[in-house]
Amino acid sequence: MNIMNNQEIKKSIKKGPWKTLAIVTGILVVIVLFKPWVQVGAGERGIVLNFGAVQDKVLNEGIHFRVPVMQEVVLMDIKIHKAVTDAASASSDLQDVALSVALNYHILPEKANLVYQTIGVEFKERMIDPAIQEVMKAVSARYTAEELITKRPAVSAEMQESLTRRLLLSNISVDAFSIVSFSFSKIFTDAIEAKQTAEQNALKAKRDLDRIRVEAEQTIAAATAEAEALRLQKMNISPDLIELRKIEANLKAIEKWNGILPQVTGAGAMPFIGVSDLKKN
């Protein structure tokens, strides 16, 4: 009897570690299968569902525990996203306008559960694109086609303000907005180019006219100054001045004389004969 009891004890001791290992393994398998935890990554929020019902609590980044079977956690991306949308609209003067805009946006982190509950994860297709289309058409209709070009910053600011108000109602925040391009019909584009060319030509003609006017004024001023100088000179002329000018002319002539007397003086004059010989004597 004692021998048999000892053998049974030894067998049970040998089976003990294997039984413990089997239990631990079973627990690990259950944990892996039911996964009672969830990891929320950077730029994400966790939406808690109790048997499919959205809860008020929003899970931040990190590891969180959940009740298996009963609770499910859906991850929502709250990072900034970019949407480029094209739309066709009309200006206030009934010109066809094709616009392309770029929008940066993100969902409000603390309202991620409401976005999931009311819109779902496809909020771009369901909310962003339709809102952009409607705002672009509404704002474009308040400007003429030419104003859409000349007042582009104001048009962009008005579109961004309208989109911000509209999307904030759906717990979506607008980070940045920009108009990528405006496109009009070929007829209108040609008309704009012709108008700009005419304005440039008119500006050039005005500049040329101003230049000619200035040059004419300068010529008149120079002529007036010259006439005034001549008038003053005439006022200063006197018989004494005339006599002085004659004397000055004679002195200059004497300075230039080389000492040789002319051989003939006048039409009926007699030639000077032997003058040089007289000078030698």
Element (H, E) at 216: helix 186-236
**Residue 166 belongs to some domain of the structure:** yes
Q: Does 23 reside within a domain? A: yes
pLDDT at residue 140 tops 50: yes
Q: Are residues 36 and 53 in the same domain?
A: yes
The helix (H) or strand (E) run that includes residue 232 is helix 186-236
The pLDDT, as a whole number, for residue 219 is: 81
Of the listed ranges 33-37, 56-60, 105-109, 236-240, the one predicted with least confidence: 236-240
Whether pLDDT at 256 is above 90: no
- pLDDT of 246: 75
Domain boundary among 62, 77, 92: 77
Average pLDDT over all residues of the chain: 79
Domain that holds residue 164: 81-184
**Do both 103 and 173 map to the same domain?**
yes
Q: Which residue has the higher pLDDT, 141 or 25?
A: 141
Mean pLDDT of 239-265: 66
**Domain check: are 47 and 134 in the same one?**
no
Q: Which residues contact 188 (CB under 8 A, 6 or more apart)?
A: 95, 145
In a domain, 89, yes or no: yes
Q: Examine the domain organization and report whether 88 and 155 are in the same domain.
A: yes
> Is there a single domain that holds both residue 47 and residue 96?
no
The string of DSSP letters for 164-199 reads HHHHHTTTEEEEEEEEEEEEE-HHHHHHHHHHHHHH
| Closest among 121, 47, 110 to 81, alpha carbons compared | 121
pLDDT band at residue 203 using 50, 70 and 90 as cut-offs = confident
Judge if 52 and 101 occupy the same domain.
no
Domain check: are 145 and 109 in the same one?
Answer: yes
Whether 70 and 101 share a structural domain: no
210 in any annotated domain? no
Confidence of residue 274 (pLDDT cuts 50, 70, 90): very low
What is the distance between the alpha carbons of residues 147 and 149, in angstroms, rounded to a whole number?
5
Same domain, 141 and 164: yes
Asked if residue 239 is part of any domain, the answer here is no
**Domain finish residue from 156, 184, 212:** 184
- pTM here is 0.57
Q: Is residue 266 one of the residues assigned to a domain? A: no
- Decide if 216 is inside a domain: no
pLDDT, tens digit, 9 for 90 and up, residues 149-180? 889 999 999 999 999 999 999 999 999 999 98
Give the pLDDT confidence score for residue 156 in this predicted structure: 92
User: Of 127 and 30, which is predicted with more confidence?
Assistant: 127
pLDDT at position 88: 85
Domain count, the chain: 2
* CATH number of the domain residue 173 falls in: 3.30.479.30
Q: pLDDT of 29-84, one tens digit each?
A: 655 566 788 999 999 999 999 998 999 999 999 999 888 888 999 999 999 999 88
Least confident of 86-100, 225-239, 243-257: 225-239
Q: 101 and 120: one domain?
A: yes
Closest CA to 116 of 170, 37, 63: 170
Of the residues 132, 151, 184, the one at which a domain ends: 184
Q: Is the pLDDT of residue 275 over 50?
A: no
In terms of domains, do 98 and 161 share one? yes
Q: What is the pLDDT of residue 125?
A: 87
Highest-pLDDT range among 64-73, 190-199, 260-269: 64-73
Q: Are residues 24 and 56 in the same domain?
A: yes
* In a domain? residue 109: yes
Question: Three-state SS across 41-74?
Answer: CCCEEEEEEECCEEEEEEECCEEEECCCCCEEEE
